[in-house]
Chains A and B, each alone.
Chain A
Amino acid sequence: MTFPETRERAAERWREFTADNTPRMLVGTGTCGQAAGALSVMTEARSWFENRGIPVRVYEVGCLGLCYAEPLVELSRPGSPAVLYGHLEGEVIRNVLGRYFEKGELCEEYALAVMNGPAAGVIPAFNDHPVMSGQVRVALRNCGLICPDSIEHYIATGGYTGLVRALEMSPDAVVQEVSRSGLRGRGGAGFPTGVKWDLCRKQEREEKFMICNADEGDPGAFMDRSLLESDPHSVIEGLAIAAYAIGARNGYIYVRAEYPLAIERLRIAISQAEECSLIGDNILGSGVSFHLAIKKGAGAFVCGEETALLASIEGRRGMPRSRPPFPAQRGLHGRPTTINNVETLANVPVILRDGSAAYLRHGTEDSRGTKTFALAGKVKRTGLIEVPFGITLREIVHGIGGGASDSGKIKAVQTGGPSGGCIPARLFDLPVDYRKLAEAGAIIGSGGMIVMDESTCMVDIARYFIDFTQKESCGKCVPCRLGTRQMLEILEDITSGRARDNDLADLQEIANSVKVASLCGLGQTAPNPVLTTLRYFRDEYEAHARERVCPVGACAAMLVYTIDAEKCVGCRACMRVCPVQAVSGEAKQVHEIDLAVCVSCGACYEVCKFDAVKKG
């Protein structure tokens, strides 16, 4: 089938999908949606429609990024606006279906936005929703709007046009186009993509490899998972364009095993692209071939590092090696190899389709285009967002995110996961770009953005990240293997009230050494959470070290829980939740906590309705 024929069939499918003459229901069934109960909502809704004999078209779509409101459903029927509904747990779905389809009501209390037109009463148009205003979606252009298992939907919305255009250009011209766009790697390091491709392009070897790094391991980051689950073809098209540009005939997508749904949707998408001759032998009759396979990760964070990832594909322990030679010179099986991140590749088709000039419209001088962020933690509207570089942290956290989730006050935001840093709220007017965040001691990283409020202890956060990197250190180089261990021990001492005089100075010194002397990115960036918290939240460290108290009451080992005899009514609620049976007492009698047994988990404190458990 030629591309124009494929495109015609795609347009036909798209007309069926968007037809407004019969009722339609879209359900977001990404992993986030499923975790919130989207599949049972869908089953419930189907039986509701069947019982009433209402003909309805039901489609599963990806993630719109409004994760806080999951499960999400979009309903439409002739003569009424298509409305996106959220928070549809339990009985709510039946209620909304009945009112929307039988009474013609718009159910404002569950409505989030109108998807196909202007605002309807109090329901805003989708693009005016507070989450969406301020966003510019390039990599996420199709997420939640098309069916991820339909190549036709992708093509009908402009997909694979970039690949067709690339194949009409010379490989050098494709590299130049990407270089002109200023695109930088979105995996964390921000290396210019055009330069990376050019280096590989210039290697005179018969065999080369093109690899997509989808080993998204940063805790707190889920941009790549969402993208792969919602729009896998954008990544496959990006890979095909990149492979043509560098001259690779074979490629892999290295995906975390923890992302089974992303793997499943990629598998479907790859076989569809092969059937349409968009990858495989002799792509669209051009004489160019590109074969793509999936490699599943096996649960090692360090494999997100390029050379460790290559070792893992080769069937070895995923340990990094020193560079040079760079993978572009000697990569997989010793052959020149380019490795790009998921989001980087999802941008590539747009750059080829619309030209680099269009891409340059967004962003700042040194950070072009847009960046996706996974907004999570103590923020009202958690979700997946894409914003132009140069936006301030305040606009993201307070505008898009809607501010603090509970009554608390936001204290800091953590960007870049275990490689990044904590930026205090007083610096929230900082524009988000590669240079500005680096100056503040953090990094853009892959895009995790965790909001922390005043109940979060910053020393505990530093301990948390070092605990993570220490466990994930591959052990090959000494600074990382021993340095992270030493930092962890010091941080454990500080957070449990055993700090010694020199601990803060030692911590600073070890952190600096690990940063300078480690072999790979994991070790070089591991001290960042420690260094930024020491820089911006030194008072919290000093309170732990000198006064032996955790100012926010988060460090369990420094807390003592007791029961106020005046307030205790003997309801036994604390006794039931205590994981270590530290609470004793008869029903309706005052209870007691055995401090020798208590692990200070705080479960009793949370559960007590009478304010009788005291923390201090």
Chain B
Amino acid sequence: MHCEESYKQQIDDVLSRHSGDRGELIPILQELEEEIGYIPREAIRRTAEHLGINESAVYGVVTFYAQFHLTRQGKHRIKVCQGTACHVRGAGQLLLALKKSIGIDPGATTDDYRYSLERVACFGSCALGPVMLVNDAVHGRMTPDRVDDILEQLE
């Protein structure tokens, strides 16, 4: 539990910015995800308390939406677009190249918490497919051989 204790302040800060209205649930979870990088168990309990609803209701929402994670994510979050235009232009090979370079499957995080790899439905940059997102930077017209260069430039 030591690890989770350290988020107390961040959880307090986020909750203090929101009323106890049920409609605040998703904005709260979005801020927690933004601040902490995932939704720890403690945050679910405190959010449920804050809104006066069951923990199961919060858990239900967390697991329904793709944006929320229940486990700690990597320092660099890599998302590969699987939209139709990217698909017909080779998103599958791009994903394979990333799996090879990072050594994990989509949905996983490396043991050293350096990378997380995710498949995402569509970024809407279809004209430049295949597209991948590294943290907030969009890389268009990707090819498998550009993957290592981009990874090397990360801190």
Contacts and interface: CB of A to CB of B under 8 A. Distances in A.
A259 interface: yes
Contacts of B23: 313-315
A465 B122 CA distance: 12
A226 B138 CA distance: 15
Given A315-B24, A377-B85, A298 B124 contact: no
A300 B128 contact: no
A301 B144 CA distance: 28
A35 B128 contact: yes
Highest count of chain A CB atoms <10 Å: which of B60, B125, B145: B125
Interface string B111-140: 000000000111111111101000010111
Contact of A296 (B27, B127, B128): B27
A158 interface: no
Contacts of A452: 88
A414 B84 contact: yes
Interface in A352-377: 374-377
Highest count of chain B CB atoms <10 Å: which of A32, A315, A599: A315
Contacts of A580: 100
A571 B24 CA distance: 59
Interface string B9-46: 00000000000011111110110000000000000000
A221 B60 CA distance: 29
Nearest to B58: A315
A31 B123 CA distance: 9
A448 B83 CA distance: 11
Given A220-B85, A316-B61, A577 B144 contact: yes
A382 B24 contact: no
B66 interface: yes
Contacts of B75: none
Contact of A300 (B66, B96, B120, B127): B66
Nearest to A31: B125
Contacts of A314: 22-23
Interface in B56-86: 60-61, 64-68, 82-85
Interface residues of B, number: 48
B141 interface: yes
Given A36-B141, A313-B23, A374 B120 contact: no
A603 B127 contact: no
Highest count of chain B CB atoms <10 Å: which of A216, A258, A378: A258
Contacts of B123: 31, 258
A298 B67 contact: yes
Given A32-B140, A35-B139, A464-B84, A601 B126 contact: no
B126 A374 contact: yes
A203 interface: no
A298 B140 contact: no
A601 B96 contact: yes
B97 interface: yes
Contacts of A378: 88-89
A376 B64 contact: no
Contacts of B140: 32, 35-36, 70
A450 B83 CA distance: 10
A298 B29 contact: yes
A225 interface: yes
Contacts, number: 159
Contact of A219 (B51, B66, B82, B92): B82
Nearest to B123: A258
Interface string A98-122: 0000000000000000000000000
A579 interface: yes
A472 interface: yes
Contacts of A221: 122, 124, 126
Contacts of A226: 124
B120 A258 contact: yes
Contacts of B138: 31, 34-35
A497 B61 CA distance: 39
B65 A67 contact: no
Contact of B97 (A376, A383, A464, A603): A603
A312 interface: yes
Interface in A307-324: 312-318
B54 interface: no
Contacts of B22: 314-316
B35 to A, nearest CB: 15
A602 B122 CA distance: 24
Interface string A367-399: 000000011111000111000000000000000
A43 to B, nearest CB: 14
Highest count of chain A CB atoms <10 Å: which of B22, B99, B128: B128
Nearest to A258: B123
Nearest to B143: A606
Contact of B99 (A383, A414, A579): A579
Given A296-B27, A314-B23, A378-B88, 12 more contacts: A31-B138, A216-B124, A219-B85, A219-B87, A298-B30, A300-B64, A315-B61, A317-B60, A377-B84, A377-B88, A414-B84, A603-B97
22 contacts: A31-B123, A31-B124, A35-B138, A36-B140, A70-B127, A218-B122, A219-B121, A220-B85, A220-B122, A222-B124, A222-B126, A258-B120, A258-B124, A259-B124, A298-B65, A299-B65, A299-B67, A315-B26, A376-B129, A417-B84, A579-B99, A606-B93
Interface of B: 21-27, 29-30, 51, 60-61, 64-68, 82-85, 87-89, 92-93, 96-97, 99-100, 120-129, 131, 136, 138-141, 144-145
10 A-B pairs with least C-beta separation: A67-B127, A299-B66, A35-B140, A222-B124, A315-B25, A298-B65, A219-B83, A220-B84, A376-B85, A382-B127
